[in-house]
Every structure is written in structure tokens, then in C-alpha cells.
Amino acid sequence: MLRRYWSSHSNFQLRFCTYWSQMSVKHHSVSNYQAPEWAKDILRTPEKRVKLALLPTPIHKWRLDGLPKDVELFIKRDDMTGSTLSGNKVRKLEFILGDALSRGCKSVITCGSIQSNHCRATAVAARELGLDSYLLLRNKSSSLTCFDNLGNLLPSMLCGSQIYFIPKNSKYETTIKPKQKQLAREIEEKTGNPACCIPVGGSNSIGVFGYIEAWKEMEHQNVCTDFDDVVIACGSGGSIAGLAIGNYLTGQKIKLHAVSVCDDKYFFHEHVNQMLNELGISGAQSEDLVDIIDGYKGEGYGLTTKQDHEFLHNIASTTGILCDPVYTGKAVKGMITELNNTPGRFKGNRVLYIHTGGVFGLFDSTINSKLERKYSNGNMFSWFNDFPEKIA
């Protein structure tokens, strides 16, 4: 039907193609990048940027259960940076892929867990830009045993990514990075074009500018005057590094908190300090810029319990905000717990939570049993006849 309509309405087709072409050029063209004035002395500032995200993301009040009565909580919706590109990773990819395109790369190679938001966003963004993507995914098995409930894998596969499963406990520096380099050499030998290797989470000295620019955006949204504290999930450290740099260089007094969902505070402080060093920012260290909150990764990275699922369902059913089981759900739990049990670690009671996305992770089936229990107890009805009947 759509094909018949398309072919029989040539004027519509022409207008649509012209409009989409104009929008695509505007949205996806590589442009020269100029850092904010307060960041002009940073070393190794990216030269290029490609527009991918829908910015700025909104900020609104969040009526979340379990908060102390005197706390005013707001949420910045970085889960709304796009549909398939939703989440914080696309901010980093604007700079990483802008750099890759300027260097003539025709493909990108990145890595993460099997439900990596970063890998999904990279696969989608790469395909939008005409690049091939290669994903090294940590997995329990050397193959994919089931094609049901794919979660983040579904968009990646639909976009034609070439996927390599690697052992779940693979370390980036010793195992994954060498494999990326090996694959990049093979691609260049085969195609004659360089491949761009992207680290876990896109967290490098180029990707960090995604959240340096996010800080500039937040300044324009009056975050620095309207809030005392900012809270964000921390899985690779790139987003909190960008925020810390922005907060420091602008001389603002916001207190930054990052809830770790893997590793520990020492790992993330080391990463932020590495970014400060690589960018030539002296006189500051991560330990003075960021409060890394440990203790909320539960049974481990990407592992969830029935209680976690109850928590996520309660957030969605009371506020309409979907949090994922790997990142945002654990970060929100950590924020609420710390606000109640250790209020002294916060500067004030005006708190902004940055929602970094991850909705596709909810479709990996781990929460399905929770929903099945709820909807098997009288929350689903059959109304095929005159009166609704509960479905047992």
C-alpha cells in the first residue's frame, strides 16, 4: 500500500525527498568546532563535530517516591536526545564520529557489554553517516543462543553491524583494545580505508567534549543558579569527566555526584584525572571535583534482582519515567538512599538528576517475569463481550 501511494504521488515524493535531503545535510553535516570561551586553553580541542543529537534536552520537576520532604528534585532528559540514538552516548559520538569522518574513516570499531547503550548508539549513528560498524560485545557465550528479547542488540543488528562476541570478563587494555587494532588493520588492508577505534563508552579525550558542551547547555538552562547538586550514573567515566571539567573551568560551585554501576571510585577518579592530564588542565584533580558514590552496583555490572525490577516498575508507574536496569535504575536508587541516609554529602536540597537513557535495555526480558506476575493478578481484562472480565 505504501509503495503504491509513494509511486502515485510524485509531487509528494519530490517534496518529501527534498525536505529530507535538506534536513539530513543540516543535521548530519560535519562542521568546524569551536570550544566555549572558558575552554579555549584546553589542549587537543576537537576540530570537527557532526550534529546527531536533539538538543537541548529539557529539564523538569520529578516527583519521585522516597525522597526527603525538603528535597526538590528535577530531571534533565538526556534520554530524549533521539529515538534510536537516545541517551548520553550520542553527545560523545558527535565529536568522535566527526573526527573519524574528517580522517577519512569508513568504518568504526567499538566495544561494550552485550546490552551496551554505547554500542547500539554507535551502530545507529554510524549507519546514519554511511559508516560500517563492528561491535566487540562481552558475552557469557561465544554465540547468540536466542534471538528473542534482544534489547540493545536489535537496533544494532537492524543497522547491519558486524558483531563479535568476546569473553564477559575481557579487560579493555589487555584484551579488547588489541583486538580492535587487529580488526582495524584487517579492514584497512581489505578496503584501503582507515577504521576508527572507539573505547568503552566513547570515553576518551575527544568524546569528553560531549559533556563539556552539555555543561555549556546546562549553563544556558540556569542549572548553575537553580541547583546545588547534580547526580548522574557512571559506567565508563566520560560523562562525569566532561561535567567536572565544565564545572571547574567556569568556576561554578555545583557539587557533582556520580553513582558507579561498575568498578569503583578509584577507577573513575583515575579516568577523570587522566582526562584532565590529557587536556592539559592543571590545578585540579578528580577527588576534589567529583563525589563518586560506590555501593550500588548490586550483584555486579548488568546484574539485577527482583527488588531492582520492583524499583524500576514503581518509578515508571508513578512518574512515567523509564529507567534501565544497568545504569539509571541503580543510580536513582543510590541517589535516593544517599539523600535519606547521608544527606551531608550533598551541598543543598535542590538536586538535578541527569537521565542518561538506556530504555532499550528494558527489552532484554529480565523484567518480564515481574510484569507477568503483576498482569496475571487482575490487571488485564478481556472486553470482547458486553462486560470486561479479568484474565487469569
Q: What is the residue-level pLDDT of the chain in tens, covering all 392 positions?
A: 334 433 444 444 444 444 443 444 455 789 999 999 999 889 989 999 999 999 999 999 999 999 999 999 999 999 999 999 999 999 999 999 999 999 999 999 999 999 999 999 999 999 999 999 999 999 988 988 878 889 999 999 999 999 999 999 999 999 999 999 999 999 999 999 999 999 999 999 999 999 999 999 999 999 999 999 999 999 999 999 999 999 999 999 999 999 999 999 999 999 999 999 999 999 999 999 999 999 999 999 989 999 999 999 999 999 999 999 999 999 999 999 999 999 999 999 999 999 999 999 988 888 888 888 877 777 788 899 998 988 86
Three cell numbers written together for 116: 551496551
Answer yes or no: do 55 and 189 share one domain: no
Please state, in angstroms and rounded to a whole number, the distance separating the CA atoms of residues 120 and 153.
Answer: 7
* Structural domain includes residue 136: yes
Answer yes or no: do 48 and 170 share one domain: no
Q: What is the pLDDT of residue 27?
A: 59
Q: Domain boundary residue among 140, 171, 202?
A: 202
Task: Give Rg (Cα) of the chain.
Answer: 22
Question: 250: how many CB neighbours lie within 10 A of its CB?
Answer: 17
Q: What is the pLDDT of residue 379?
A: 79
Please state, in angstroms and rounded to a whole number, the distance separating the CA atoms of residues 316 and 93.
Answer: 28
Half-sphere exposure of 258 (CA within 13 A, CB side): 30
Please state, in angstroms and rounded to a whole number, the distance separating the CA atoms of residues 181 and 177.
Answer: 6
Answer yes or no: do 60 and 144 share one domain: no
Answer yes or no: do 324 and 212 share one domain: yes
Q: What is the pLDDT of residue 349?
A: 97
- Residues labelled catalytic: 116
Please state, in angstroms and rounded to a whole number, the distance separating the CA atoms of residues 177 and 172.
Answer: 6
Answer yes or no: do 227 and 262 share one domain: yes
Please state, in angstroms and rounded to a whole number, the distance separating the CA atoms of residues 179 and 12.
Answer: 48
Answer yes or no: do 64 and 115 share one domain: no
Name the residue type at position 95.
F
* Structural domain includes residue 31: no
In the chain, the number of structural domains is 2
CATH at 133: 3.40.50.1100
Answer yes or no: do 147 and 130 share one domain: yes
Q: Domain boundary residue among 202, 232, 253?
A: 202
Q: Domain boundary residue among 202, 224, 256?
A: 202
**For residue 326, how far is the Cα from the chain centroid?**
11
Answer yes or no: do 192 and 263 share one domain: no
* Structural domain includes residue 7: no
Name the residue type at position 361.
G
DSSP string of 224-256, one letter each residue: HHH-SEEEEEESSSHHHHHHHHHHHHTT--PEE
* Structural domain includes residue 214: yes
SS3 297: coil
DSSP string of 110-134, one letter each residue: EEEETT-HHHHHHHHHHHHTT-EEE
Q: What is the pLDDT of residue 21?
A: 39
Q: What is the pLDDT of residue 69?
A: 96
Query: Does residue 301 contact residue 170 with C-beta atoms inside 8 Å?
Result: no
Domain extent, residue 287, equals 37-87+204-359
* Structural domain includes residue 305: yes
Q: 274 — phi, psi (to 5°)?
A: -65, -40
Q: What is the pLDDT of residue 5?
A: 34
Answer yes or no: do 213 and 313 share one domain: yes
Answer yes or no: do 135 and 178 share one domain: yes
Q: What is the pLDDT of residue 26?
A: 53
Answer yes or no: do 51 and 101 share one domain: no
* Structural domain includes residue 118: yes
Answer yes or no: do 196 and 223 share one domain: no
